[in-house]
């Protein structure tokens, strides 16, 4: 059991670093919905915390052209209207192909800078007691996915700007199935 957890953790870190490296080429979610199946959308509902962020509330709700500015070294934590879940689907992963995940959501914004997205996931320790931990979300050219195995969903997202340029965030969009939308 312990060996399986270590293997899962190692795979998680490997995939996260590869997906995060991809995000440095641009801003995922610049064109929300492109290549995505039509699914109901929900948005960030409230700002939980901010550090080095201007106009943080402008990241809430549907895209409206107003942007929160996450300064270099800053971070913004938002609470979503609903939980984000992994959406398994068959997709082509470069270059070999295989099974992947459809995007769970997208960040609409601008700025050619590196950034990361993390979800606040519930976990259980070895004694079965629940606690929470930040786990990187998988970034794609069109958004991000929750791909953590056994995930019960996540409704708190943290955006971190470790770069040297500002990151402008208009909206955080979650994709759901009809039954999951309140």
Query: Model's pTM, two decimal places?
Result: 0.73
Verify cis geometry, omega within 30 degrees of 0, for the bond prior to 3: no
pLDDT at position 169:
96
Walk me through the domains of the chain, giving residue ranges and CATH numbers. 2-180 (2.60.120)
pLDDT at position 27:
56
pLDDT in tens, the chain (182 residues): 444 444 444 444 434 443 443 343 345 544 444 554 567 899 999 999 999 999 999 999 999 999 999 999 999 999 999 998 887 654 444 444 444 557 889 999 987 668 899 999 988 888 889 889 999 998 888 888 887 666 678 999 999 999 999 999 999 999 886 544 44
* Residue 120, burial from CB neighbour count under 10 angstroms (0-12, 13-18, 19+): middle
pLDDT at position 96:
45
pLDDT at position 151:
64
pLDDT at position 89:
54
The 3 state secondary structure assigned to the chain is: CHHHHHHHHHHHHHHHHHHHHHHCCCCCCCCCCCCCCCCCEEEEEEEEEEEEEECHHHHCCCCCCCCEEEEEEEEEEEEEEEEECCEEEEECCCCCCEEEEECCEEEEEECCCCCEEEEEEEEECCCCCEEEEEEECEECCCCEECCCCCCCCEEEEEEECCCCCCEEEEEEEEECCHHHCC
pLDDT at position 16:
43
pLDDT at position 143:
87
């Amino acid at each position: 059991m312990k060996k399986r957890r270590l293997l899962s953790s190692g795979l998680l870190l490997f995939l996260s670093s590869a997906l995060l490296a991809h995000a440095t080429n641009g801003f995922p979610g610049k064109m929300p919905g492109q290549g995505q199946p039509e699914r109901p959308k929900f948005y960030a509902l409230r700002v939980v915390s901010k550090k080095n962020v201007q106009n943080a509330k402008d990241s809430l709700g549907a895209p409206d052209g107003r942007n929160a500015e996450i300064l270099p070294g800053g971070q913004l934590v938002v609470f979503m209207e609903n939980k984000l879940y992994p959406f398994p689907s068959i997709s082509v992963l470069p270059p070999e192909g295989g099974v992947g995940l459809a995007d769970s959501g997208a960040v609409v914004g601008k700025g050619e800078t590196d950034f990361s997205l993390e979800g606040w996931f519930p976990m259980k320790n070895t004694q079965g007691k629940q606690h929470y931990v930040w786990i990187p979300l998988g970034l794609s050219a069109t958004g991000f996915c929750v791909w953590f195995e056994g995930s019960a969903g996540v409704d708190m997202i943290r955006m971190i700007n470790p770069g040297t340029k500002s990151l402008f965030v208009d909206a955080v969009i979650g994709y759901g199935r009809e039954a999951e939308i309140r």
